[in-house]
């Protein structure tokens, strides 16, 4: 049981390049999320997918796109990377089949992806 | 949308002392308040959570309190140990399968 797996762990891009961060979970969770973490800013939500087939913007969606490929996979794409997108990106999932009162809200995070845009 | 404020941003305590981290939230509809601990270079992990139908919850040395009227909640760590040193995040969300909004984090340092 791997939990949440995200790739790559490290990536260096030049301004204007594109890339996709991949995320997969094997816990049969309904909801998946992409956060970015910057010093002093905490974890800021980029996009989330409450269930398969739906995606919604979070606090900082500009410059990003997402795809919920299936129930397991949720990818984050940077179409034209900018230095302001240098950050650590975390994918997370939540929401088993047991319902709200039994811990469905608990987020399980991936190990993180450190992205540097030059 | 929801806004979560967290204080202090840094906190240093002597080993064995208590530590308190406070958070406020803006959306009165929020009903789930988790706390995550992130050790250096690691992923955030849930340490305790509380739902709006409960005012206090305790798990060994950690406890959370919730004041719905004032829209604030707090994390209390007693008898701190060096391994408690980490960044702690509070968060708030509404119901199941909804987005979770985090505070900006508190870096706790426990001095041996």
Q: Which residue of B has its CA nearest to A57?
A: B99
Q: Flag the least confident range among A21-35, A50-64, A97-111.
A: A97-111
pLDDT at res. A1: 67
Q: What are phi and psi of A29, to 5 degrees?
A: -75, 145
Residue A100 pLDDT grade (very low, low, confident, very high; cuts 50, 70, 90): very low
Is A56–B99 a contact, with Cβ atoms under 8 angstroms apart? yes
Smallest Cα distance from A55 to chain B, Å: 11
pLDDT at res. B95: 67
Is B93–A105 a contact, with Cβ atoms under 8 angstroms apart? yes
Q: What is the CA radius of gyration of chain B?
A: 13
| B82 exposure class (CB count in 10 Å sphere: 0-12, 13-18, 19+) | exposed
pLDDT at res. A118: 96
pLDDT at res. B40: 93
Residues of A in contact with B52 (CB under 8 A): none
Provide mean pLDDT across the span A36-50: 90
Smallest Cα distance from A117 to chain B, Å: 20
Tokens standing for B70? 């004032």
pLDDT at res. B99: 74
Please determine, for residue A40, whether its predicted confidence score (pLDDT) is greater than 90: no
pLDDT at res. A96: 53
Chain A to chain B Cβ contacts (< 8 Å): 69
Per-residue pLDDT tens digits for B48-98: 999 888 889 999 999 999 999 999 999 999 999 999 999 999 999 876 556
Kindly report the CA angle at A29 between A74 and B71, in degrees rounded to 5? 100
């Amino acid at each position: 049981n791997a939990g949440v797996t995200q790739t790559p762990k490290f990536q260096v891009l030049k301004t204007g390049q594109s890339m996709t961060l991949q995320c997969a979970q094997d816990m049969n969770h309904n909801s998946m999320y992409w956060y970015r973490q910057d010093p002093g800013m905490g974890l800021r939500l980029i996009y989330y997918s409450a269930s398969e087939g739906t995606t919604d913007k979070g606090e900082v969606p500009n410059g990003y796109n997402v795809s919920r490929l299936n129930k397991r996979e949720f990818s984050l794409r940077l179409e034209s990377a900018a230095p302001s997108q240098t950050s650590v990106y975390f994918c997370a999932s939540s929401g088993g089949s047991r319902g709200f009162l039994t811990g469905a809200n608990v987020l399980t995070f991936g190990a993180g992806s450190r992205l540097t845009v030059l | 949308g929801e806004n979560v404020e967290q204080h202090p941003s840094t906190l240093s305590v002597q080993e064995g002392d208590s530590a308190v981290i406070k958070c406020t939230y803006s959306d009165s509809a929020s009903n789930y308040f988790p706390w995550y601990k992130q050790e250096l270079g690691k992923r955030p992990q849930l340490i305790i959570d509380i739902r709006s139908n409960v005012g206090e919850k305790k798990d060994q040395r950690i406890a959370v309190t919730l004041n719905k009227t004032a829209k604030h909640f707090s994390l209390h760590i007693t008898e701190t140990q060096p391994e408690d040193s980490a960044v702690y995040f509070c968060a708030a969300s509404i119901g199941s399968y909804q987005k979770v909004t985090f505070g900006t984090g508190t870096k706790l340092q426990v001095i041996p």
